[in-house]
């Protein structure tokens, strides 16, 4: 087991795990100073490419972004999402996880759960690639957004799934949009850390999409804390630049590369 993975495991019940998404080098470089885990999430399908869901993002596209992210990472654990359809059988999963690992130099892959892929996790782990699980609202498999775990039957299903994923060998698990009660029970039951998104303070760590935190994406559900409105900052900057060009305030002689 790598030192980076050990470090994440050791935080359980001691220190909260900080995680955000990155899709490119410059952002990754900033996150690397403050995050334990940086995820190249398939959310880039919606956030960057304007797709209506994550279903059609290609493996090659995620790999390209991960190669860029890797250039900004020194100390945090870099996890890459496996896109929908790239891990539908154990054989395919191993082939693609190895490809992601080799091409990007990441530390782990993440796969969403559809209640059937604990075998896939086991096989990727056997191939010596650390895997992060993901349960609750899993956008690759669920169309409609809803909070899970309100009813007993669904709560039990989530608990069972989380335990199966741990048993299969995942080193941590994302809990997306499940009830505080479900997050509390699962975080207590599992030995591996739980990383929550929209799943309350009871998780061992938290993850958010960086563009949401920065106020860039225009997506502000209750579970997101928007720390800054980058959209408005960028707009103000671009407006100023546009005015400067039109009024001939930019470039000035100071900006000339040669001569006067
Ligand atoms: O793709 C993603 O960004 C994710 C996080 C929201 C957990 O899976």
List, for residues 97-125, the tens digit of each pLDDT value.
Answer: 999 999 999 999 999 998 888 999 999 99
pLDDT reading at 93 higher than 90: yes
Specify the residue with its C-alpha closest to ligand 1, atom 8.
41
Average pLDDT, the chain: 96
Report the pLDDT averaged over residues 232-241.
97
Instruction: Tell me how far the alpha carbon of residue 10 lies from the centroid of ligand 1, in angstroms.
Output: 23
| Tokens coding 130 | 């650390």
Stated pTM of the model: 0.96
Nearest CA to ligand 1 atom 2: 41
* Shared-domain flag, residues 224 and 234: no
Using the atom order of ligand 1, give the atom closest to the CA of residue 54. 1
How far, in Å, CA of 127 to CA of 131, rounded?
Answer: 11
Question: Residue 3 Cα, ligand 1 centroid: separation in angstroms?
Answer: 24
Task: Out of 30-44, 88-102, 148-162, 246-260, pick the least confident.
Answer: 246-260
Instruction: pLDDT band for 135, please (50, 70, 90 cuts).
Output: very high
CA of 140 to the centre of ligand 1 (A): 10
Q: Are residues 69 and 198 in the same domain?
A: yes
pLDDT of 226: 86
Query: Looking at the structure, do residues 246 and 134 belong to the same domain, yes or no?
Result: no
Report which protein residue has its CA nearest ligand 1's atom 3. Answer: 41
136 and 234 part of one domain? no
Q: Do 197 and 242 lie in a common domain?
A: no
- From 15, 154, 176, 235, the catalytic residue: 176
**16-25, 136-145, 151-160, 188-197: range with lowest mean pLDDT:** 136-145
Q: 115 and 244: one domain?
A: no
Return the structure tokens found at 91. Answer: 């054989």
Residue 29 and residue 6: Cα distance in Å, rounded? 22
Q: Could you tell me if 201 and 237 lie in one domain?
A: no
d(CA 92, CA 31): 31
User: Whose CA is closest to 73, among 37, 110, 99?
Assistant: 37
| pLDDT digit string, tens, across residues 62-83 | 999 999 999 999 999 999 999 9
* Shortest-distance atom of ligand 1 to CA 176: 7
Query: How would residue 52 be classed by pLDDT, with cut points 50, 70 and 90?
Result: very high
120 and 249 co-located in one domain: no
pLDDT digits (tens, 9 = 90+) for 9-33: 999 999 999 999 999 999 999 999 9
- What is the pLDDT at residue 115? 83
Q: How many C-beta neighbours within 10 Å does residue 256 have?
A: 9
Statement to judge: residues 102 and 213 lie in one domain: yes
123 is catalytic: no
Going from the Cα of 15 to the center of ligand 1, the distance in angstroms, rounded, reads 22
Closest Cα to atom 4, ligand 1: which residue?
A: 41
Residues 200, 203, 205, 209, CA torsion sign: negative
Atom of ligand 1 nearest to the CA of 21: 3
CATH code of 84's domain: 3.20.20.60
| Residues 135 and 249 reside in one and the same domain | no
| Distance in Å, CA 209 to ligand 1 centroid | 7
Same domain, 91 and 122: yes
Domain of 56 in residue numbering reads as: 3-228
234 contact partners, CB below 8 Å, separation of at least 6: 216
- Ligand 1 atom 1, closest CA: 41
Is pLDDT above 80 for 88?
yes
In terms of domains, do 79 and 128 share one?
yes
Around ligand 1, the residues with Cβ closer than 6 Å are 21, 39, 41-43, 81, 174, 197, 207, 209
Q: Give the number of domains in the chain.
A: 2
122 CA to middle of ligand 1, Å?
21
Which residue's alpha carbon is nearest to atom 5 within ligand 1?
A: 41
Closest listed residue to residue 53, CA positions, set 140, 154, 164:
140
């Amino acid at each position: 087991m790598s030192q980076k993975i050990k470090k994440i495991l050791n935080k359980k019940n001691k220190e909260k795990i900080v995680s955000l998404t990155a899709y490119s080098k410059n952002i990754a470089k900033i996150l690397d100073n403050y995050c334990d885990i940086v995820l190249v999430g398939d959310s880039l399908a919606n956030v960057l490419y304007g797709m209506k869901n994550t279903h059609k993002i290609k493996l090659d596209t995620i790999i390209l972004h991960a190669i860029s992210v890797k250039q900004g990472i020194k100390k945090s654990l870099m996890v890459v999402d496996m896109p929908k359809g790239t891990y539908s059988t154990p054989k395919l999963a191993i082939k693609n996880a190895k490809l992601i690992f080799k091409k990007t130099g990441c530390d782990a892959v993440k796969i969403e759960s559809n209640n059937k892929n604990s075998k896939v996790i086991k096989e990727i782990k056997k191939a010596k690639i650390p895997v992060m699980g993901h349960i609750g609202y899993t956008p690759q498999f669920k169309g409609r957004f809803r909070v899970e775990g309100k009813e007993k039957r669904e709560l039990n299903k989530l608990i069972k799934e989380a335990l199966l994923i741990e048993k299969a060998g995942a080193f941590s698990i994302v809990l997306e949009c499940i009830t505080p009660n479900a997050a509390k029970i699962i975080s207590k039951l599992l030995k591996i850390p739980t990383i929550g998104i929209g799943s309350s303070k009871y998780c061992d760590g938290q993850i958010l999409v960086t563009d949401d935190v920065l106020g860039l994406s225009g997506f502000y559900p209750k579970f997101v804390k928007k720390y800054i409105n980058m959209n408005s900052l960028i707009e103000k900057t671009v407006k100023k630049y546009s005015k400067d060009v039109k009024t001939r305030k930019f470039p000035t002689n100071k900006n000339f590369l040669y001569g006067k």
